[in-house]
Structure formats: structure tokens, C-alpha cells
Amino acid sequence: MLTDLGQVGRWLEDTGLTVGQLDREWMAQFRSARHEAGQRRIPGPRAMVPLLTYLVVADLAGWHPSNMRVSLSRLRGKGRAGAAVSSRGEVWRLMRQDDLIGEITIEDADGPWLSGRFVAGPAFPDLEPLFQQELALLDTLDEEYERWETIYDKITRVVRLVAPHGPVAGFLLHVQDGEAWFRWSNESFAEE
């Protein structure tokens, strides 16, 4: 992610843009420019979500332009992000009321994102199809944002993320193949 951030920074300097002007169209132009410059490893739309989220969380970007379809307020943590205070080996729980969906043992923290091993609990099989649909739709987020949001809303209506210190108010979570990665906030990510 740091390499991508550096490339975006150099590209912004070359084009005379500011971080606050970034939107999906500019990010597509960034990707095109990297390709034309001969770069082989160019972050795709899905890979850019953590970078854009980081820029927002770090308050390096203060945008909400009308042509930005992804609701950055949904991804933006207004409270303290968890990566700075979470440590390797902590166990976070996913709950549906009193039923255990699964446990995440933290193995890595990268910016606002935490990731780790996911061990499914008894309530996971009921929700696994939603997590699979959500991840599949991330690859086509530009075209199918509304579908992704509908699926993700279904997840957040029934899933609670519980940190070692207690439940968190807002989170963006992905679960796949025994792994989970997420970011969280002490305040809800609800639309402003």
C-alpha cells in the first residue's frame, strides 16, 4: 500500500491535482497513466479501496464530490481507528445477537485495516453466502455499487463486531477462506 500511495503522490504532483480532487475518474486516469508508463503492477479498483480509505481516515482527503458513487462516509471512521491500539494475538468476535459467528485472531495491522485468522462459529454457515456475495461484488464495485451496498447492509444489520474491549459502533469487514480483514470505528459509518 505504501508503494501505491507513493505512486499516487508522484502522479498528483505531476498532474497538479490535490488529494481532495481524487474521485473514481481520476483514479482510473492514474491507473491508465501507470500502465502507459510501463508499470506492470497496477492496483485495480478493488485494491484502491484500502488506499482511498486510508487517505480519508488520515484526513488527507476531504472530499465528497457529487460524482463519487462510493459513499466514503460509509468507509470513513469518525472515531479513533483501531489499528493503532490493536495488537497481534487479540481476539475479536463476530456475533449475531448471542450467537457466535466467528472469531478473528489479529495477525497484522496495516493503516486502519486489521487482518487475521478467522475461525467460524456455529452461526457462520447461515451468513457465509452473504460474505461470499459481498466479496464477489467488490471486484465490480464501479458497476454494481448498489448491489454491494444492499448485501453489506444485510451483513451489518445482523452482525456485531466485538473488540476485546467491547462492541464497536462501525466497521467494514470482509471474510474469506479462513481469513478476515476489517477496519472499525467507535462511531457508526452510517450515511451523513
**64 with 102, same domain?**
no
| Residues whose CB is less than 8 angstroms from the CB of residue 121 and which lie 6 or more positions away in sequence, other chains included | 94, 99, 100, 101, 102, 103
User: Does the residue 12 lie in any domain?
Assistant: yes
Q: Which of 187, 82, 180, 192 is nearest to 134 (CA)?
A: 180
Do residues 116 and 157 both lie within one domain?
Answer: yes
Q: How many domains in the chain?
A: 2
What are the backbone angles phi and psi of residue 166, rounded to the nearest 5°?
A: 130, 180
37, 10 Cβ separation under 8 angstroms: no
Task: Report if residue 122 sits inside a domain.
Answer: yes
Q: What is residue 126's predicted lDDT score, i.e. its pLDDT?
A: 95
Q: Which domain holds residue 156?
A: 91-185
Count Cβ atoms below 10 Å from residue 155 Cβ, excluding itself: 19
Is residue 135 in a domain?
Answer: yes
* Per-residue model confidence (pLDDT) at position 2: 57
Do 98 and 152 share a domain, yes or no? Answer: yes
Query: Do 115 and 169 fall within a single domain?
Result: yes
In a domain, residue 27? The reply is yes
3-class SS at 55? Answer: helix
Tell me, yes or no, whether 99 and 169 share the same domain.
yes
Query: From CA 50, how far away is CA 73, in angstroms rounded?
Result: 14
The residue behind cell 463519487 is 68
**Helix pair 45-57, 141-158: axis angle to 10 deg:** 60
In a domain, 74, yes or no: no
Q: Which three cell numbers stand for residue 192?
A: 451523513
Residue 156 sits at the vertex; the CA angle it makes with 59 and 166, to the nearest 5 degrees, is: 75
Q: Assess whether 54 and 129 both reside in one domain.
A: no
The whole-angstrom separation of Cα 142 and Cα 39 is: 23
In a domain, residue 149? The reply is yes
Write down the pLDDT at residue 116.
93
Amino acid at residue number 177 = D
The alpha carbon torsion through 145, 187, 172, 167 (nearest 10 deg) reads -140
Residue 99: what residue type?
Answer: D
Q: Based on the fold, state whether residues 60 and 135 are members of the same structural domain.
A: no
Residue 97 cell numbers, joined? 445477537
Same-domain check for residues 112 and 44: no
Looking at residue 65, what is its pLDDT? 31
pLDDT tens digit at each of 192 positions of the chain: 556 667 777 777 778 777 666 666 777 787 788 778 877 666 666 666 666 655 555 544 443 333 333 333 333 333 334 433 567 899 999 999 999 999 999 998 877 788 999 999 999 999 999 999 998 888 787 788 889 889 999 999 999 999 998 999 888 999 999 999 998 887 766 543
Taking alpha carbons only, the member of 181, 27, 185, 177 closest to residue 106 is 181
Statement to judge: residues 115 and 178 lie in one domain: yes
Q: Does residue 116 sit in the same domain as residue 47? A: no
